[in-house]
């Protein structure tokens, strides 16, 4: 399917973004207007953009249907401060409720039943139930076009953090099971960071992998090994040498694997799953003898 963004409607484009740029973190933004009215709304066009100064950006878009602006945007123009509260699984329903299009001046803390507590450096209150709260000043607002559906980048500088001590592991890292954040997907879908949806991929920062291009052709063209298998093998730092492969032929199993590509690749896949990568490559290279 080929899509020219100029040939589809704005709602269709929006749907493509929501499903395809995902999962997205959620900023539960509390703001205040010049008269002191509090607002609380979630925004998943949100991320962090480096430290020094620590910069976070979220985007309250113009409404597609009538090109009006969201109260959150109006508030940060009046009082350039915001608390970006993280959203965990325990508060996902209340967060969703707060995204209801209540009239201006309605306090979504009250509507959603969440607790507003004073911030330290900024006027908008923070969400007590949130495990991680970022008090920020708004440095800049970039209005992308002013057209219906367009974004408004609210560029925030972090001033102060409140973190629940229970979200950290023994090494001081925030642990996904403990914080249990939720992320936004397309449609009505969300993802959470505990349970079976999560997995680990170690960062290749201390190793210099040989790369998939250095694997033998038979391995690269395997019908049994997946792209993930190749990525894992490409992360090892050297291939087994010929002597090791010759020696492994003393094993009757390996002598039979040398004659059967399908069995060889299936066996190697099992070894990859067990993280026995050097052995997996030895098996895969039996045919080179």
Ligand X SMILES: Cc1cc2nc3c(=O)[nH]c(=O)nc-3n(C[C@H](O)[C@H](O)[C@H](O)COP(=O)(O)O)c2cc1C
Q: Which residues bind ligand X (CB under 6 A)?
A: 26, 39, 41-45, 59-61, 70-72, 96, 99, 101, 184
CB of 11 vs ligand X, minimal distance in Å: 14
Residue 206 structure tokens: 């201390």
Residue 15 structure tokens: 């749907």
d(CA 267, CA 272): 9
**What's the DSSP call for residue 121?**
S
User: Is the Cβ of residue 149 or residue 231 nearer to ligand X in the bound state?
Assistant: 149
What is the β-pairing status of strands 152-163 and 182-184? unpaired
User: Is the Cβ of residue 101 or residue 260 nearer to ligand X in the bound state?
Assistant: 101
The string of DSSP letters for 60-110 reads -PPPTTT-PPPHHHHHHHHS-EEEEE--BGGGHHHHHHHTS-PPTT--HHH
User: Is the Cβ of residue 77 or residue 178 nearer to ligand X in the bound state?
Assistant: 77
User: Is the Cβ of residue 184 or residue 264 nearer to ligand X in the bound state?
Assistant: 184
CB of 26 vs ligand X, minimal distance in Å: 5
CB of 115 vs ligand X, minimal distance in Å: 18
CB of 159 vs ligand X, minimal distance in Å: 21
d(CA 169, CA 19): 32
């Amino acid at each position: 399917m080929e899509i020219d963004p100029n040939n589809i409607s704005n709602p269709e484009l929006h749907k493509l973004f929501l499903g395809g740029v995902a999962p997205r973190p959620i900023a539960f933004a509390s703001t205040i207007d010049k008269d002191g009215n509090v607002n609380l709304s979630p925004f998943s066009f949100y991320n962090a953009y480096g430290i020094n100064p620590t910069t976070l950006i979220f985007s309250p878009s113009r409404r597609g249907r009538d090109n009006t602006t969201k109260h959150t945007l109006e508030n940060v123009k009046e009082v350039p401060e915001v608390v970006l509260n993280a959203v965990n699984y325990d508060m996902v329903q209340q967060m969703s409720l707060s995204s209801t299009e209540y009239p201006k001046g309605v306090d979504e803390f009250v509507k959603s039943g969440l607790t507003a507590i004073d911030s330290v450096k900024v006027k908008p209150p923070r969400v007590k139930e949130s495990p991680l709260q970022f008090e920020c000043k708004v440095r800049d607002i970039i209005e992308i076009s002013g057209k219906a559906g367009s974004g408004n980048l609210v560029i925030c500088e972090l001033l102060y953090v409140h973190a629940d001590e229970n979200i950290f592991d023994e090494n001081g890292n925030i642990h996904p099971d403990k914080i249990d954040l939720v992320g936004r997907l397309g449609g009505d879908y969300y993802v959470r960071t505990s349970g079976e949806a999560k997995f680990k991929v170690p960062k290749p920062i201390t190793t210099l992998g040989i790369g998939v291009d250095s694997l033998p052709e038979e391995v690269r063209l395997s019908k049994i090994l997946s792209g993930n298998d190749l990525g894992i093998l490409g992360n090892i730092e050297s291939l087994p040498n010929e002597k090791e492969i010759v020696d492994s032929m003393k094993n009757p199993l390996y002598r039979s694997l040398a004659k059967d590509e399908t069995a060889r690749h299936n066996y190697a896949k099992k070894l990859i799953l067990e993280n026995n990568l050097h052995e997996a490559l030895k098996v895969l290279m039996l045919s080179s003898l």
